[in-house]
Chain A
Amino acid sequence: MLKAVLLIFLILLGGLGAGKAEAQSLNARRLGMGGVLTSDVGDHAGSNIAFRAVPKGTGGSGSIPLPLGLIQYIGDHPTYDSKDSTFNVYEIANVFLNPPLTIQLVKPEEVSGDISIFVAQDSLRVDLADVRRVIPEHSMKQGGVVHVGGIGKSFGRAFLNVGPLVHLRNELILSDELRNALRDAVPFTSNTRYGLTDDGRAQAAIAFQAGYALRLLHQASEGEKDSNDPRRNGVTALYVGAAPKYLLGLAYGDAHSTGGVTTGDTLFASGNPVTIDEETVTRHAVAGGDGGVGTGFGSDVGAVLYFHNFELGLGLNDFGSQIKWKTTVRRHLYDDATNQFTTVQVAQDEEFTSRIPVTTTINVAKRIGRTTIAADIVDGDLRTTMHAGAEMWFGMFALRSGVYRDQNQMMQFAGGGGYRFGKIGLDLAIATNSRNIERERGAELSASLSLY
């Protein structure tokens, strides 16, 4: 039993930093510009549906990642054998947080070191030493909305798309007392509750989407004679797009848990020195099971304005997206007196509407000759990130640099270059990040091919 508890604890620990990690970018061109997004750099249509209507420019139309990091990983990877003396679960967690697709140039120092515990009848002090680095100062959030693949077909300005959608979210909050005991080795005291609260939610659906993007406003410019690229021809144009979607909910589950250990008058007295409390309320529905499928609607909308080679975009993904379910609600309560859990079904087929959080992307860019200067703000369910970067072309060579503020509120830096061979370009980028369980700065080298 104890082993099982410990393993669950390990899994939880491994996930501490998951949500704190910004998604790894395998587009070296975008990464070299600090991860910034424009209508021709990075995610060409996913974050702003209006980009679909913008003519393809000289800035590129896609990228193919080169996962060079796999070579590094094959030569040097952590052991997964818990019996091995070098086994380190934090190192493994970092592999998941930071998949080995890019070459790691600088890695945060691994969490290691001895743990010291001092026990007396009325005293307990735990010094986690290096492990303190993995315990954040605030709540531990993880998750996000993921649109996984899918298939689509364009018909001129219109398009159809079918694809899965997954929304995950978990937030773990330690009480001040527990956090202080873990992070700062503050001694445990008598008659004190050391508690935590966890809110988790997961839902999956298939989105059937039909969209349309078009140029709504247009004011001609001299530059249009040479190029139809509104990013560089000086035209004034407004492109908009909208794509309503029908959501077929496959599964929904959430759990709100509170638990804690309250010490007695004496920490290690005989009898029951601690009181344990734990309560979890769950709600779920699943296709083919309790509640069946859910149904709902949502939309992606966007607009992008060009004015004298200046670009201003606004994209709202999953705008107003909701799914209605018939849910089963259960309450699980731990009884300290009997040392047993009891489960009570509170409701069955209770109507419940879940929300898919909207992701808002605002981007600006200015093209001056062959130079692009850009910035964006991406606001999602758990995090708001900002990116800024520039790209300068010299013949077939490009130089790039950028900065971004990641979800750990850390400034990160990037730079890189590229060479264009006709319709294909090779890009390299070096960028820092804090995609690791220690939330410390590391650096990576990314490579990809750009399609022009």
Chain B
Amino acid sequence: MRRLILIALFLPLLAGCGNRNLILTVDILSFMDPASKVVNYSIPVPVPNDTVEVFSDSLNLLQGVGDVTRAVAASMDIAASFDNTSGAATGNLLIYIASADSSNPFTTTPFADVPFQLFAGQVTNVSTHVEASAALAEVLTHDRAKVGVRVVFNGTSFPIQGTETLTQLQATVIMKKDL
């Protein structure tokens, strides 16, 4: 509760505004441990595909907001940077978001799937904007949510080595009053 006191102060203003919206944008990335944003990958030998789990954790997102608001829509902006030092691959950056009572966010369907293509010695930036379902929006407004980031490589030249950095993970939730 105390964590979001500053935000809660402004919810009454929304409540007075009839059929209006509270547009809450949360920079999820800023709440993550800086070390979690970066992962070094190394796939030395040819395999059909390899998966690197970048991040999986339970985060306090919009705690307390759900008490007085009802999420009606949500979207996410995701961006990552691959500094690929050797090898080549295609792949997918997968984002998972699950409710806090979920044991493992990776057991759910990916919320976002961002394809990429890597070449040796090149930095590749990828980004996407994903509209989420209302159900997922509700998840974002609960006290906690589990977030997971996974990268799947389909190598074409080995060894594949480099560094993947999450550069944007921003959620926008549109809520209505629920007093």
Choose the segment among B17-25, B40-48, B96-104, B105-113 that binds chain A (4+ C-beta atoms closer than 8 Å): B17-25
Q: Is the CB of A261 within 8 A of B16?
A: no
Partner of A119, one of B2, B19, B27: B27
Q: B116 to nearest A CB, angstroms?
A: 25
Q: Is the CB of A86 within 8 A of B19?
A: yes
Is B134 close to A, CB under 8 A? no
Partner of A118, one of B4, B25, B64: B25
Query: Within 8 Å CB of B14, what residues of A?
Result: 115
* Majority-rule SS of B interface residues: mixed
Q: B44 to nearest A CB, angstroms?
A: 36
Is B15 close to A, CB under 8 A? yes
Partner of B16, one of A88, A119, A126: A88
Q: Is the CB of A113 within 8 A of B12?
A: no
Please measure, in the bound complex, the distance between the C-alpha atom of A263 and the C-alpha atom of B9, giving whole angstroms: 14
Q: How many residues of B contact A (CB 8 A)?
A: 34
Given A113-B17, A114-B23, A2-B64 contact (CB < 8 Å): yes
* Majority-rule SS of A interface residues: mixed
Please measure, in the bound complex, the distance between the C-alpha atom of A126 and the C-alpha atom of B19, giving whole angstroms: 19
Q: Is the CB of B2 within 8 A of A88?
A: no
Please measure, in the bound complex, the distance between the C-alpha atom of A267 and the C-alpha atom of B67, giving whole angstroms: 21
Is B129 close to A, CB under 8 A? no
Please measure, in the bound complex, the distance between the C-alpha atom of A120 and the C-alpha atom of B168, giving whole angstroms: 12
Closest to A111 in B: B17
Please measure, in the bound complex, the distance between the C-alpha atom of A86 and the C-alpha atom of B19, giving whole angstroms: 6
Interface string of A264-275 (1 = CB under 8 A from B): 000110001110
Is B51 close to A, CB under 8 A? no
**On chain A, which size bracket covers the interface?**
35 or more
Q: Is the CB of A2 within 8 A of B21?
A: no
Q: Which of A6, A194, A273 has the most CB of B within 10 A?
A: A6
Query: Within 8 Å CB of A117, what residues of B?
Result: 7, 10, 22-25
Q: Is the CB of A114 within 8 A of B6?
A: no
Q: Is the CB of B8 within 8 A of A121?
A: no
Is B179 close to A, CB under 8 A? yes
Query: Within 8 Å CB of A2, what residues of B?
Result: 1, 8, 64, 67-68
Is A188 close to B, CB under 8 A? yes
For residues 79 through 131 of chain A, which have their beta carbon under 8 Å from a beta carbon of chain B? 82, 85-90, 111-124, 126, 128, 130-131
Please measure, in the bound complex, the distance between the C-alpha atom of A126 and the C-alpha atom of B22, giving whole angstroms: 10
Closest to A88 in B: B18
Closest to A90 in B: B16
Q: Is the CB of A268 within 8 A of B31?
A: yes
Q: Which of A85, A116, A276 has the most CB of B within 10 A?
A: A116
A7-B179, A87-B18, A274-B5 known, 16 other contacts, Cβ within 8 Å: A3-B68, A3-B179, A5-B8, A6-B8, A10-B12, A10-B15, A82-B15, A85-B19, A112-B20, A113-B17, A115-B23, A119-B27, A121-B30, A273-B3, A274-B2, A276-B2
Task: Provide 17 A-B residue pairs closer than 8 Å at the C-beta atoms, listed in order of the A residue.
Answer: A2-B68, A3-B67, A6-B68, A86-B18, A87-B18, A89-B17, A111-B17, A113-B20, A114-B21, A117-B10, A120-B27, A122-B30, A128-B13, A131-B13, A261-B9, A267-B6, A276-B5
Residues of B within 8 A of A (CB): 1-27, 30-31, 64, 67-68, 177, 179
